[in-house]
Amino acid sequence: MSTETPVSQPNAADLQAAEALKRVRRRRSLALAGALALFAITFYVLTIVKMGPALFDRAL
């Protein structure tokens, strides 16, 4: 007597749901990446502005 449950083949509704979920996850990931990039750029610009023009007058 086997206690394994039979594995059913995915139907069209399951595949559509999986694709929709994948699209939602990708959109969310891209939104988070964009927000993180904007956050980093904001800190970079604010740091440069706070240092002022003296930053570009120093010797290299």
Per-domain residue ranges for the chain? Answer: 13-57
CB of 48 closer than 8 Å to CB of 55? yes
Q: With bands split at pLDDT 50, 70 and 90, how would you rate the model's confidence at 56?
A: confident
Dihedral sign for Cα 44, 49, 51, 53, please.
Answer: positive
Q: What is the pLDDT of residue 1?
A: 55
**DSSP codes joined into one string, 7-56:** PPPP-HHHHHHHHHHHHHHHHHHHHHHHHHHHHHHHHHHHHHHHH-THHH
Cα–Cα distance for residue pair 36/29, rounded to 1 Å: 11
Once rounded to an integer, what is the mean pLDDT over residues 4-10?
A: 76
